[in-house]
Amino acid sequence: SIDADRFRETFETYSDIGRTDNDGLHRLTLSDADVRVRDQFVNDLESLGLDVRIDEIGNIFGRRAGTDPDAAPVLIGSHLDSQPYGGRFDGQLGVLSALETLRAFDEHDVEHRRPIELVNWTNEEGSRFKPALMGSGTFVGEFSVEETLARTDADGTTVEEALESAGYRGDAECGPREPIHSYLELHVEQGPVLEEHGQSVAVVDGIYGMSWLEATIEGTADHAGPSPMHSRRDALVAATDVVQGIRRLSNRYDDVVTTVGELTVEPGSINVIPSEVTFTADVRSYDDTIVAELVERVESELEAACAREGTEYELEEIWRIKHTEFAESVRTAAREAAEEAGVSHRSMVGGAGHDANYLTEVTDAGMLFVPSVDGRTHNEDEFTEWEDVVAGANTFAETTRRLSQ
Amino acid sequence: SIDADRFRETFETYSDIGRTDNDGLHRLTLSDADVRVRDQFVNDLESLGLDVRIDEIGNIFGRRAGTDPDAAPVLIGSHLDSQPYGGRFDGQLGVLSALETLRAFDEHDVEHRRPIELVNWTNEEGSRFKPALMGSGTFVGEFSVEETLARTDADGTTVEEALESAGYRGDAECGPREPIHSYLELHVEQGPVLEEHGQSVAVVDGIYGMSWLEATIEGTADHAGPSPMHSRRDALVAATDVVQGIRRLSNRYDDVVTTVGELTVEPGSINVIPSEVTFTADVRSYDDTIVAELVERVESELEAACAREGTEYELEEIWRIKHTEFAESVRTAAREAAEEAGVSHRSMVGGAGHDANYLTEVTDAGMLFVPSVDGRTHNEDEFTEWEDVVAGANTFAETTRRLSQ
Ligand SMILES: NC(=O)NCCC(=O)O
Ligand SMILES: NC(=O)NCCC(=O)O
């Protein structure tokens, strides 16, 4: 059993690093707050006597030896970065459940054959640097190290520059050094399912596939007064038409979600017809062929809206990830652990991408979810009842114990 | 007759101050470029031996005495600020036509009974500080000096701070010191009418009334993945619905224009449902009751869209200006001047607000337009053929001469 009080204290300590006025978390990748939380994390790993390793893109590992030095290790963890004005549970809870698991193992002298490695992945959120799951994606070879280091934020700062000024450009090569036995991650559900069913834990079957798109529409800047309506080429009129179309797309399918999260207008002056609008689209489905279809439909919407308004467009797919099915071995261990811990549980499919998705490419991976009150996340109101957190952490610790035998 | 070569040289000198790579002009109110062009202007006024006066909100005046020191002066001028990445003709051409007029009067020893005052109004565009026509509006008492000094730009800098760091917070009281005989302003048409009719000059009958609105829609930030579509309160879905509605509004009327020029999204992350969208609306008609009706209809659009999406809104009218009818006395002088100068001309109503609008509140005001190629303005491609510029400036000089007798 984990120590719920110690866990809670640690959770509050970490939540103070980047805590917002509304009790949320603002800790963008490699920002000052992210650097401070990394320092805290490395410190906590060292206090546990773990062997700390930082790789060339800033992923942080702490290794606890098992009784068999030659056995493939179990990897456990999540991410410490947050969305802008996001919540305290997203990511952090997974890292701290893993930390508390190793503390509890220490305290109770839990024996395990396999080494256990705790990990914090760099830039899971994809808010400062796109795409998301960057640290794990690079670890499994989905992105090359060069490509990742060259990614830029909105100000043009590269990942490499950010790592260097943060002091988190490590020496270790990014990628598996040895076969990995399994990967386990606990995360908040970020949706309403567990709460609706009054259950504390989900053993996750799989994750939606998704595509991230970036569109630019070019019109003609002109004066909002003397320019007749019929001759306008208004980039914002075309773009808002597309945003409406993207929302309507989801009506055509069961279990598809579509979102436009970013949109910027140039030149952005009250009395000037917009000449350029850039916006994103995020489309998801558990069915990879439907994701492909959604991308085509977004393009059709752009084509139709631009034909109507006389504007031009460009569309770029900046990220695509297939749907994920987690390993039966990890799911079984997790189900048995939940039973043993006496925790109410269910299986479900998740709509958010996680580092565990990419880990399936190199090992048997799996996930546990704990409930999100009102399903809310990616905002300061994100919340999970503490008894659910404890139930999840206990299930997590027991699953880890089983996997590491 | 004005000196076309000297005029052109001056125009190029001024255009170099804030010239963009694409031969446009980026000279936002009280920016570095605006300060440099003001310095140049004050210098040119002093070289002409004019009596220079700067008022407490930065309007710059240069006075040439007439033969009758007790006669009410004629005021001529426009503005030197520009839109972001705007054109070289908008505003600047009016100030420089006035400058060239006084140079020509000097050269040809033109006698005039009335004093003539040349003016550059602060912040005509309304891009950095809202609303537009700020300098002239304060001059005629439409805005109080305190209110104007307290206006802020997007970074929170006040007009007062910007004036002080620019060194253009003058000593003179803002407002008429004496009765003013008349006000004359030359401007680019910024629309297609003169070009369509192949004419060089318009004697302007009047200007559209307009309203500037600022709307905020509040939704709920949440994750773009696991949040079911049916429970979303997406501020951008509601806002884009309203932008489409505002565009459609113009279909219901003859000669109404509606524009959304600014729109920003919070938190603005690709995988987060937008929680807040702020946008502007600019609605115009020559009929003031229609402007009032348009404002109501914008509010109805907001209400309907927010009812559909479950979002909330706030709407603020930040500026309203009635339609303007210019003085018959000035229009007659301008028509006669165009005839005398042998310039093809017409009368028309303009869709853009000008400092001349507010001047009608304290004097007989009037305007001349010169053509805009393709009607384009508020962008770097803004252009007027030089022969039309010269025709306009000659008509302007002759009108000024007539008014100042
Ligand atoms: N869990 C999470 O928020 N991951 C970021 C990637 C995504 O948008 O699904
Ligand atoms: N002429 C001009 O661009 N004035 C700014 C105010 C308006 O938008 O009409």
Residue A224 CA: which ligand 2 atom is closest?
Answer: 8
Any idea how long chain B is?
405
Q: What is the CA A195 to chain-centroid distance, rounded? A: 21
Q: How much is the pTM?
A: 0.91
Stretch 249-268 of chain A: residues touching chain B, C-beta under 8 Å: 250-251, 257-265, 267-268
Taking the C-alpha atoms of B175, B181, B187 and B193 in order, what is their torsion angle to the nearest 10 degrees?
A: 130
B324 vs B363: CA distance, rounded Å: 13
Q: What are phi and psi of B259, to 5 degrees?
A: -145, 140
CB contact under 8 A, B351 and A227: yes
Counting as low any pLDDT under 70, the low residues of chain B are none
Handedness of CA A385, A391, A395, A401 (dihedral sign): positive
DSSP B374: G
CA atoms within 13 A on the CB side of A166: 28
> Which atom of ligand 1 is found nearest the CA of A125?
5
Region at A71 (left for phi over 0; alpha for psi -120 to 50; beta for the rest): beta
| Spatial separation of the C-alpha atoms in residues A55 and A249, rounded to whole Å | 41
Which one of the ligands is nearest to A226 CA?
2
Q: Which of A229, A231, A236 sits opposite B250 (nearest CB)?
A: A229
Residue type, A353: G
Test A234 with B222 for CB contact under 8 angstroms.
no
Answer whether B91 contacts ligand 2 (Cβ < 6 A).
no
List residues bridging with B50 in a β-sheet. none
Residues of A in contact with B275 (CB under 8 A): 379
Is residue B69 reached through a cis peptide bond, with omega within 30 degrees of 0 on the bond before it? no
Rounded to a whole number, what is the distance in Å from the CA of A322 to chain B's nearest CA?
Answer: 14
Q: Which ligand is nearest to the CA of B273?
A: 1
What separation in Å is there between the alpha carbon of B342 and the centre of ligand 2?
A: 29
- Nearest by CB to A225, which of B221, B273, B352? B352
Residue of A nearest to B125 (CA): A271
Are B261 and A272 inside 8 Å of each other by CB?
A: yes
Q: Which residues line ligand 1 (CB under 6 A)?
A: A 124-126, 132, 352-354; B 223-225, 271
Asked if A26 and A81 touch (Cβ cutoff 8 Å), the reply is no
Interface test with A, best of B265, B272, B374 (most A CBs within 10 A): B272
- At what angle are helices B92-107 and B32-47 packed, to 10 degrees? 10
Q: In this structure, are strands B364-370 and B182-188 parallel, antiparallel, or unpaired?
A: parallel
User: Does B284 contact A225 at a Cβ distance shorter than 8 Å?
Assistant: yes
Cβ atoms of B154 and B31 closer than 8 Å = no
Q: Whose CA is nearest to atom 4 of ligand 2?
A: B353
Q: Do B378 and A189 touch (CB under 8 A)?
A: no
* Ligand 2, atom 8: closest residue by C-alpha: A271
What token pair was written down for B373?
Answer: 């190629």
- Cβ atoms of residues A114 and A68 within 8 Å: yes
- Bond prior to B84 in cis (omega within 30° of 0): no
Which residue numbers in chain A have pLDDT < 70?
none
**Minimum-distance CB partner of A222 among B189, B270, B376:** B376
Note the ligand closest to the C-alpha atom of B92. 2
**Residue B139: predicted pLDDT:** 98
Shortest distance between the Cα of A378 and any Cα of chain B, in A, equals 5
Tell me which of B82, B187, B214, B223 to substitute to probe the interface with A (most A C-beta atoms closer than 10 Å): B223
Measured between beta carbons, which residues in chain A are less than 8 angstroms from residue B237? 243-244, 247, 260
Q: Which H or E run contains B162?
A: helix B159-166
Task: Select from B26, B222, B373 the residue whose CB has the most chain A CBs within 10 Å, as the one to mutate to test that interface.
Answer: B222
Which ligand is closest in space to the CA of residue B354? 2
**Contact list, A125 vs chain B (CB under 8 Å):** 269, 271
Does the beta carbon of B204 sit less than 6 angstroms from any atom of ligand 2? no
Residue found under tokens 């909002």: A224
Exposure class string for A245-279: b at 16+ Cβ within 10 A, else e: bbbebbeeeeebbbbbbbbbbbbbbbbbbbbbbbb
A150 exposure class (CB count in 10 Å sphere: 0-12, 13-18, 19+): exposed
pLDDT for residue A228: 94
Tokens of B130: 């809202």
Q: Are B180 and B356 spatial neighbours (Cβ–Cβ below 8 Å)?
A: no
Which residues on chain A are in Cβ contact (under 8 Å) with B271? 125-127, 132, 212, 259, 261, 282, 352, 378
| Cβ atoms within 10 Å, residue A398 | 22
Cis peptide, bond prior to residue A228, ω within 30 of zero: no
pLDDT in the model for residue A248:
97
Residue B244 touches chain A, beta carbons under 8 Å: yes
Among chain A residues, the shortest Cα distance to B255 is held by A228
A127/B contact by beta carbon, under 8 A? yes
Ligand 2 contact via B125 beta carbon (within 6 Å): yes
Give CA separation, B182 vs B348, B360, B393, in Å.
20, 9, 18
Which of A125, A190, A234 lies nearest to residue B225, judging by beta carbons? A190
Beta pairing partners, B53: B61
Nearest Cβ partner of B267 from A84, A225, A247? A84
Give the other-Cβ count within 10 Å of A330's Cβ: 28
Would you state the pLDDT for residue A120?
Answer: 98
Taking a C-beta distance cutoff of 8 angstroms, is the pair B94, B5 a contact?
A: no
pLDDT for the residue A342: 96
Q: Would you give the distance in Å from CA A372 to the centre of its chain?
A: 15
Name the one residue in this structure whose structure tokens are 């002298």. A109
Instruction: Say yes or no: A21 contacts chain B, CB-CB below 8 A.
Output: no
Find residues 323-352 of chain A whose CB sits inside 8 Å of chain B.
350-352
Q: In DSSP terms, which residues pair with B347 in a beta bridge?
A: B203
Whether the CB of B126 sits within 6 Å of ligand 2 = yes
| Predicted local distance difference test score (pLDDT) of residue A323 | 98
Residues of A in contact with B269 (CB under 8 A): 83-84, 125, 127, 261-262, 378
A98 touches chain B (CB under 8 A): no
Q: What are phi and psi of A370, to 5 degrees?
A: -115, 160
